[in-house]
Amino acid sequence: MFTNPNRSTKTFKFYTNQEIPAVGLGTWQSTEEEAYNAVLSALKAGYRHIDTAAAYGNEDIVGRAIKDSGIPRKDIFITTKLWCTDHTRPKQALQESLKKLGTEYVDLYLMHWPVPLNPNGNDPKFPTLPNGNRDILHDWDFIKTYAGLQELLDTGLTKSIGVSNFSKKNLQKLLEAPSTKVKPVVNQIEAHPLLPQFNLFNFCKENGIIIEAYSPLGSTNSPILTNETVVELAKKYGVQPATILISWAVWRGTVVLPKSVTPSRIESNFETVSLSDEDGEKLNKISEKGTSRLINPNWSPIEVFDEND
């Protein structure tokens, strides 16, 4: 009754017309060796989209795997991200990332979090104050950071810029800022049927900003892979629960970044089925019983997430 899952060669288009492969490999929480093998397996399986970040500490390994794959650089969509302690120096940070990745440009550069942290604090990644709170830069904000990202577009070091972990409120604030001349092409957020973020999703859609879904499978020890509706649809389509979640993300028009370090899963995660609208809506309804945010670092006193999203 249903067609077999197909290798996902689908792409979405940014409002700038640049294309992005709908399914990309997420590399967060991978050790160096895992990341190397995962990227090689993914490229072999047909992925042409790899998502990394300075904060993942694996850009050099990811870059090496891309080189070793023998696939021309121009055929691969690479995203990396600006870390919080680098908000006042995006150009230098991107240059350092490019050096590690061994490439002259990335396809997409994202502000990882809307939180500028002290670059001279007690830790290079997560500086804290004596009271344990994050050491936040109070004379800076994400609007200034974004203005710095915009300048990178003229350097050729990145083709596009975007944001990550932006709530609707923060995105509105960014879009309304006089210094914002170029809209972000994407907002990369946690998104899965237990956290569909419909309000944020609709706001991004209205503004021509593509959502990229991270932790689409519900991250480690996922509660979603065993969700009744997901399992039922997996049986119906004759695929794994993970395939249903990835296919749902694509069905609703989001880029999706499943992470795996297991070659067989990397391969199967690249295969999607064409969900019927009725089944897509069934998955949309899962969150009616309650939502669950799985990635929720404490950025106090800065408000990052908005539960109305």
Residue 240 engages ligand A2P in binding (rule: CB under 6 A): yes
Q: Tokens representing 104?
A: 């002259």
Residue 24 engages ligand A2P in binding (rule: CB under 6 A): no
Give the chain's radius of gyration (CA, Å). 19
Q: Which CB, 116 or 218, lies closer to ligand A2P?
A: 218
As measured in angstroms, the least distance from the Cβ of 247 to ligand A2P is 12
Cβ neighbour number for residue 184 with a 10 Å cutoff:
28
Asked if 51 and 79 count as a contact pair (C-beta separation under 8 A), the reply is yes
Tell which one of 83, 216, 237, 247 touches ligand A2P (CB under 6 A). 216
The site that binds ligand A2P (CB under 6 A) totals a number of residues, namely: 19
Asked if 82 and 114 count as a contact pair (C-beta separation under 8 A), the reply is no
DSSP-based three-state secondary structure for 295: coil
Q: Pick from 304, 217, 236, 220: which is nearest to 275 by CA?
A: 236
Of 26-55, binders to ligand A2P (CB under 6 A) are 26
Which residue, judged by CB position, is nearest to ligand A2P in the bound state?
Answer: 242
Q: Tokens representing 281?
A: 């809506």
Q: Which CB, 193 or 218, lies closer to ligand A2P?
A: 218
As measured in angstroms, the least distance from the Cβ of 251 to ligand A2P is 17
Q: Which CB, 76 or 257, lies closer to ligand A2P?
A: 257
- The C-alpha atoms of residue 102 and residue 87 are separated, in whole angstroms, by 22
Q: Which CB, 63 or 218, lies closer to ligand A2P?
A: 218
Alpha-carbon dihedral sign for residues 136, 212, 204, 158: positive
Of 250-269, binders to ligand A2P (CB under 6 A) are 258-262, 265, 268-269
Which residues of this protein are in contact with ligand A2P, per CB under 6 A? 26, 215-220, 222, 225, 240, 242, 258-262, 265, 268-269
